[in-house]
């Protein structure tokens, strides 16, 4: 099978490959023998003339010589251990499935013809904007010099793309996540938007059914905490509120801005993702 890699979780793939076969070929020698055979016919007349033809002992010599030889050719090949080579070993041990029927938790599977879409797009764009350094050195009044950019970076360490998928010809929906590294989580200069063009193949471990809201992260936790605090403050009795003068008007009716995922109540088949690939079809193969 030939494929092009969009995304690979190399540590996971490498560990599984080592459990399947922990020997990696680094050199290969091909030996070939070339045999050479020949035949020569020798004929000589010694001192022959027309009178000598009646002489006894005249010698007419002839002979045949055969020979054989062998030539050994040794070709040495160096085996490159690339990500594709390691992944191919895992893919060949996958069970290729077309739907989610009769799957067991922990089963190594490959799903083809998957149409993907981003679940947490609004939230993700904000996270990328903040982490790009847009708030670097920004100080918020009243925070005693707190580095707001550093706080956000700490919250984003476990952030991930939440990606939904649909299998061609099946009503079941799948869910995967890709950790956000802010550097190069995708292969060959691909970006997350490239996953949504056409159909791709998913390689991973089946983990059963979950809901989108079960995929939590620190950023989402602090969002929910902020909403809770905002709700408590709005529902406090007036006599408990402290009266503070401010030069800035406060809109007490403004709702807390949230970029939470649109997580619905549907059940999704969760795949512990190993790789996303594009199958490559070569004419004649």
Nearest to 212 by CA among 168, 172, 270, 271: 270
- What is the spatial distance between Cα 115 and Cα 195, in angstroms, rounded to a whole number? 9
- What is the spatial distance between Cα 263 and Cα 274, in angstroms, rounded to a whole number? 23
In a domain, 123, yes or no: yes
pLDDT tens-digit readout, 91-136: 999 999 988 888 999 999 999 999 999 988 877 777 777 766 666 6
Question: Which of 35-44, 83-92, 164-173, 251-260 is the most confident on average?
Answer: 83-92
- What is the spatial distance between Cα 184 and Cα 98, in angstroms, rounded to a whole number? 30
Least confident of 12-21, 33-42, 191-200: 33-42
- What is the spatial distance between Cα 144 and Cα 283, in angstroms, rounded to a whole number? 66
pLDDT tens-digit readout, 200-257: 999 999 999 998 888 877 777 776 666 555 545 555 555 444 545 544 444 444 443 4
Looking at per-residue pLDDT, the higher value among 205 and 140 belongs to 205
Segment 22-31 mean pLDDT: 73
In a domain, 109, yes or no: yes
Would you place residue 196 in the very low, low, confident or very high pLDDT band (cuts 50, 70, 90)?
Answer: very high
Looking at per-residue pLDDT, the higher value among 254 and 60 belongs to 60
Looking at residue 36, what is its pLDDT? Answer: 63
In a domain, 221, yes or no: yes
pLDDT tens-digit readout, 69-87: 677 777 777 767 788 889 9
In a domain, 93, yes or no: yes
Looking at residue 277, what is its pLDDT? Answer: 95
Residue 175 near residue 215, CB atoms below 8 Å: yes
Segment 273-282 mean pLDDT: 91
- What is the spatial distance between Cα 3 and Cα 278, in angstroms, rounded to a whole number? 5
Looking at residue 252, what is its pLDDT? Answer: 41
Would you place residue 170 in the very low, low, confident or very high pLDDT band (cuts 50, 70, 90)?
Answer: confident
In which domain, by residue range, is 206 found? 3-24+78-234+255-279
Looking at residue 5, what is its pLDDT? Answer: 92
In a domain, 154, yes or no: yes
Looking at residue 148, what is its pLDDT? Answer: 65
Can you point out the beta strands (E) in 80-142? Answer: 95-97, 108-118
Total domain count, the chain: 1
Angle value at C-alpha 118, between 114 and 120, nearest 5 degrees: 150
In a domain, 34, yes or no: no
In a domain, 179, yes or no: yes
Segment 244-271 mean pLDDT: 59
- What is the spatial distance between Cα 124 and Cα 180, in angstroms, rounded to a whole number? 9
Looking at residue 250, what is its pLDDT? Answer: 43
Which residues lie below 8 Å from residue 198, measured CB to CB, with a gap of 6+?
278
Task: Inform me whether the pLDDT recorded for 189 exceeds 50.
Answer: yes
Round the average pLDDT of the chain to a whole number and report it. Answer: 75
Tokens of 102: 């009769």
**CA terminus-to-terminus distance, the chain:** 10
| The overall pTM is greater than 0.75 | no
103 CB-contact burial (10 Å; exposed 0-12 / middle 13-18 / buried 19+): middle
In a domain, 33, yes or no: no
């Amino acid at each position: 099978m030939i494929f092009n890699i969009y995304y690979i979780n190399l540590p996971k793939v490498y560990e599984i490959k080592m459990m399947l076969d922990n020997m990696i070929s680094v050199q290969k020698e091909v030996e070939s023998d070339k045999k050479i055979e020949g035949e020569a016919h020798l004929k000589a007349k010694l001192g022959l003339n027309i009178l000598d033809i009646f002489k006894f002992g005249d010698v007419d010599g002839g002979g045949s010589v055969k020979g054989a030889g062998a030539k050994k050719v040794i070709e040495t090949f160096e085996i490159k251990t690339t990500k594709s080579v390691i992944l191919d070993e895992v893919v060949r041990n996958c069970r290729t499935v077309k739907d989610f029927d009769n799957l067991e938790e922990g089963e190594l599977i490959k799903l083809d013809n998957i149409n993907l879409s981003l679940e947490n797009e609004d939230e993700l764009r904000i996270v990328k904007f903040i982490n790009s350094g847009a708030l670097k050195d920004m100080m918020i009044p009243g925070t005693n010099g707190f580095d707001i950019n550093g706080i956000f970076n700490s919250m984003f360490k476990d952030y991930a793309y939440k990606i939904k998928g649909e299998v061609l010809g099946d009503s079941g929906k799948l869910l995967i996540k890709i950790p956000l590294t802010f550097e190069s989580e995708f292969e060959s200069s691909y970006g997350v938007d490239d996953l949504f063009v056409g159909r791709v193949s998913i390689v991973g471990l089946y983990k059963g059914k979950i809901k989108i809201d079960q995929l939590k992260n620190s950023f989402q936790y602090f969002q929910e905490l902020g909403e809770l605090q905002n709700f408590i403050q709005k529902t406090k009795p007036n006599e408990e509120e402290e009266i503070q003068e401010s030069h800035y008007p406060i809109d007490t009716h403004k709702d807390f801005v949230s970029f939470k995922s649109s997580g619905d109540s549907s059940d999704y088949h969760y795949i512990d993702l190993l790789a996303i690939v594009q199958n490559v079809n070569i004419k004649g193969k």
